[in-house]
């Protein structure tokens, strides 16, 4: 009787594990539709890739990343200050290195106090120009960049092999846990069944 009980428990544990293992594999396989009599079998992700792409793109745009988020980031004073610093650095390098190579007199003229005056004027001018420049950039992004379409296209064009590798690398522990839970539940059912029947 004990042998039969152990055997029943092991068989049911294996059935629980293999069922969940197959279910996880069927998320991605078969990649192309397979006809079995009147039944068509295809993995969930390959079959619903377009719907998945559309829904995921809508969720990402609606909940995770939108034009408003980018506009908020670009309107932060720190962002404007970094842009301004980059322009000032580039302009200073242009004046001291590039423009000076055209004529030695220009290099002498733009040396010392005159360079400081030019930088001061540029600093004030950039305080006026940069906010408008960033506003134009955010508006242009909003009109020319469709996040939802971009994300949807990327997901639709992602190969199933790549998607499987990505998901398995992220969720391999969770998938393994599902398999183990299937085996444990199967073993418990097998044990209970064995106790009832034997």
DSSP assignment of 85-118, as one string? Answer: HHHHHHHHHIIIIIIHHH-HHHHHHTSTHHHHHH
Q: Bin 23: left if φ > 0, else alpha if -120 < ψ < 50, else beta.
A: alpha
Please give the pLDDT value at position 103. Answer: 66
Question: What does the alpha-carbon distance between residue 192 and residue 190 come to, in Å, rounded to a whole number?
Answer: 6
More confident residue, 13 or 3: 13
pLDDT class of 16 with cuts at 50, 70, 90 = very high
Question: What does the alpha-carbon distance between residue 72 and residue 154 come to, in Å, rounded to a whole number?
Answer: 25
* 70-119 confidence digits (pLDDT tens): 778 888 888 888 888 888 888 877 777 766 666 666 666 666 677 777 77
Q: Name which of 40-54, 62-76, 118-132, 153-167 the model is least confident about.
A: 62-76
CB 53 within 8 Å of CB 152:
yes
Please give the pLDDT value at position 59. Answer: 81
Please give the pLDDT value at position 198. Answer: 64
More confident residue, 39 or 177: 177
Please give the pLDDT value at position 102. Answer: 67
Please give the pLDDT value at position 15. Answer: 93
Please give the pLDDT value at position 29. Answer: 86
Domain that holds residue 149: 2-197
Letter string b/e over residues 54-90, b meaning 16 or more CB atoms within 10 A of that residue's CB: beebeebbeeeeebeebbeeeeeeeebeebbeebeee
pLDDT class of 14 with cuts at 50, 70, 90 = very high
Question: What does the alpha-carbon distance between residue 88 and residue 117 come to, in Å, rounded to a whole number?
Answer: 13
Question: What does the alpha-carbon distance between residue 194 and residue 1 come to, in Å, rounded to a whole number?
Answer: 9
Question: What does the alpha-carbon distance between residue 51 and residue 46 come to, in Å, rounded to a whole number?
Answer: 10
Structurally, the chain folds into a number of domains equal to: 1
* 110-150 confidence digits (pLDDT tens): 666 777 777 788 888 888 888 888 888 888 877 777 777 88
CB 83 within 8 Å of CB 130:
yes
CB 65 within 8 Å of CB 148:
no
């Amino acid at each position: 009787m004990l042998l039969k009980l152990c055997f029943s428990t092991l068989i049911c544990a294996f059935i629980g594990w293999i069922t969940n293992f197959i279910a996880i594999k069927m998320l991605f396989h078969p990649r192309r539709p397979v006809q079995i009599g009147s039944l068509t079998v295809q993995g969930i992700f390959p079959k619903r890739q377009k719907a998945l792409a559309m829904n995921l793109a809508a969720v990402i745009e609606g909940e995770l990343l939108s034009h408003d988020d980018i506009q908020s980031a670009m309107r932060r004073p720190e962002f404007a200050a970094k842009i301004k610093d980059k322009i000032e650095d580039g302009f200073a390098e242009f004046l001291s290195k590039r423009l000076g190579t055209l004529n030695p007199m220009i290099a002498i003229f733009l040396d010392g106090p005159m360079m400081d005056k030019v930088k001061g004027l540029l600093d004030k001018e950039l305080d006026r120009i940069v906010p408008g420049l960033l506003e134009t950039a955010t508006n242009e992004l909003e009109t020319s960049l469709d996040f939802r379409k971009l994300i949807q296209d990327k997901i639709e064009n992602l190969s199933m092999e790549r998607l499987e590798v990505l998901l398995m690398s992220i969720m391999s522990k969770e998938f393994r846990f599902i398999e183990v839970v299937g085996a444990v539940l199967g073993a418990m059912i097998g044990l209970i069944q064995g106790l009832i029947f034997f």
